[in-house]
Each structure stands twice: as structure tokens, then as C-alpha cells.
């Protein structure tokens, strides 16, 4: 089932064109990866999908679609505990917090929810923001660099949870520079280069993807 369909998406900041003629379709029950250089427009693309930026072109979304977005660097107020952050995220979606579900999930994440979230390590903050998204029970999960700063055990847990979301029919979109991690869990990987989607990868090996990206980065594409 198509949840998000993007046709001819173009975004400019003044005279600077950041995205040009983007065509993408995101279906339920799939994991998608997005790679690109810093400044390629990855975050801009998803700010357009979230409705934060105005744009040219068409973004079609199924009605009542619930989208959860985890930015690369989540912001936490200094005097809010981990539990209060979760409560805030739930209220933002018009939902009530379920303490039993929080406790169940926290057996996996093992976060000190009564401590101030601003005191958490980078990896703990990543886990907290992802935990809040899971509790919201979204249809689409957009994760910007979810593995950065997360320890080995945490990365394994995150990958398992992402796969479980896929099995539940959810759509997961991951922005990351870690091609190996994307290759391991994604059904499709899109390469954003020169303001547009240069290539979609499905069955290629990691080496093939890396070599192809290097070639396109230096020689351009048609």
C-alpha cells in the first residue's frame, strides 16, 4: 500500500535549488534508506514531507497518516525527565501515556526515566526519542542517523525493533551515512546526489553501492 507518493518535488531557498524533480514512493511494510553527502538535501526532503517547508511539486499522503520523525540531534529541555519527555511527545499526538507499555519498552532500553533527559549520553537520547516514537504507534517512522552515538548493544536492539516495525506493516525511512547498516536492514536504498535521486539500490552488494556512489560523486550522472 502506498503511504507517501512524491512527484516532481522541488525546493529552493531563495535562488538556491536544494531539491530538484524528486520522485519517490514509500509503501507500507518496507524499510527505506537514504544516503547522500552533507548538504545534499536529505533533511530538507523530510521537512517537506512533514509539512515544515513549503515546496513545489506534489506530496500525496494517505488520509490520517501518522508520521513520527526522529531528528539527528533531538532537543531536550534542561529540567524535563525522560518520562516527562515521553508524556510531552504523546500529548503532541493527542494520545495518553500507557505506563505499562512504557515499562515494557524500558526493559529493552533500560533508561533512567526519572533523570533529566538533558543529562543523558548521546546514545541514551537516541533511545529515548525512538522509544517515544514507538509509543506513539505511528504509521511511518523517519529516523535521521539513528545509530550515531549508540553503543553496539543499542544498535543491535534498534535494528531488531526496526525489523519488528516492518513485520507490523509500518514504513521506516532511515537517513544515514552508514551504508553497511542500511544494507543490512533496508529493502531499498536511495542515493540523493546533485539535488535529485541518482539511484535506487536493491540487490547490490555494499562494495557495488560504495563504488557506484564514488563514481557518481566525481563524474556526475545522466
Residues 130-171: tens digit of each pLDDT: 999 999 999 999 999 999 999 999 999 999 999 999 999 999
Query: Taking residues 3-17, what's their average pLDDT?
Result: 97
In a domain, 198, yes or no: yes
Is there a contact between 102 and 111 (Cβ–Cβ < 8 Å)?
no
- Kindly state whether residue 197 falls inside one of the protein's structural domains: yes
Residues 146 and 171 placed together within one structural domain of the fold: yes
The predicted-structure confidence for 171-204, as pLDDT tens digits, reads as follows 999 999 889 999 999 999 999 999 999 999 999 9
Q: Does residue 158 fall inside a structural domain?
A: no
What span, in angstroms and rounded, lies between the C-alpha atoms of 186 and 199? 15
Shared domain for 133 and 46, answered yes or no, is no
145 shares a domain with 198: yes
Domain count of the fold of the chain: 2
The three cell numbers of residue 209 are 553501492
Measured distance CA(33)–CA(186) in Å, rounded: 6
Pairing relationship of beta strands 188-193 and 196-201 according to DSSP bridges = antiparallel
Domain residues for the domain of 59 are 1-65+139-150+163-222
Question: Is the same domain home to 33 and 117?
Answer: no
**pLDDT band for position 221 (cuts 50, 70, 90):** very low
What pTM, to 2 d.p., does this model score? 0.94
Backbone angles phi, psi at 189, to 5 degrees: -125, 125
The share of the chain scoring above pLDDT 70, in percent, equals 98
Report which of 11, 74, 21 is spatially closest to residue 46, judged by C-alpha positions: 11
Residue 156 lies in a domain: no
Amino acid at each position: 500500500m502506498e503511504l507517501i507518493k512524491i512527484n516532481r518535488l522541488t525546493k529552493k531557498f531563495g535562488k538556491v535549488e536544494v531539491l530538484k524533480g524528486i520522485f519517490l514512493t514509500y509503501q507500507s511494510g518496507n524499510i527505506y534508506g537514504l544516503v547522500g553527502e552533507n548538504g545534499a538535501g536529505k533533511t530538507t526532503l523530510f521537512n517537506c514531507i512533514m509539512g515544515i517547508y513549503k515546496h513545489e511539486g506534489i506530496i500525496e499522503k494517505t488520509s490520517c497518516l501518522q508520521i513520527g520523525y526522529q531528528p539527528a540531534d533531538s532537543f531536550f529541555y534542561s529540567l524535563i525527565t525522560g518520562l516527562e519527555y515521553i508524556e510531552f511527545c504523546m500529548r503532541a499526538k493527542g494520545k495518553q501515556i500507557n505506563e505499562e507499555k512504557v515499562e515494557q519498552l524500558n526493559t529493552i532500553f533500560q533508561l533512567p526515566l526519572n533523570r533529566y533527559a538533558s543529562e543523558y549520553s548521546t546514545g541514551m537520547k537516541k533511545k529515548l526519542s525512538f522509544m517515544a516514537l514507538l509509543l506513539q504507534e505511528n504509521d511511518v517512522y523517519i529516523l535521521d542517523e539513528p545509530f550515531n552515538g549508540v553503543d553496539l548493544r543499542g544498535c543491535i536492539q534498534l535494528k531488531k525493533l526496526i525489523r519488528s516495525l516492518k513485520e507490523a506493516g509500518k514504513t521506516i525511512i532511515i537517513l544515514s551515512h552508514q551504508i553497511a547498516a542500511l544494507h543490512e536492514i533496508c529493502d531499498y536504498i536511495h542515493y540523493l546526489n546533485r539535488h535529485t535521486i541518482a539511484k535506487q539500490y536493491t540487490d547490490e552488494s555494499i562494495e557495488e553501492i560504495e563504488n557506484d556512489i564514488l563514481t557518481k560523486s566525481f563524474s556526475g550522472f545522466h
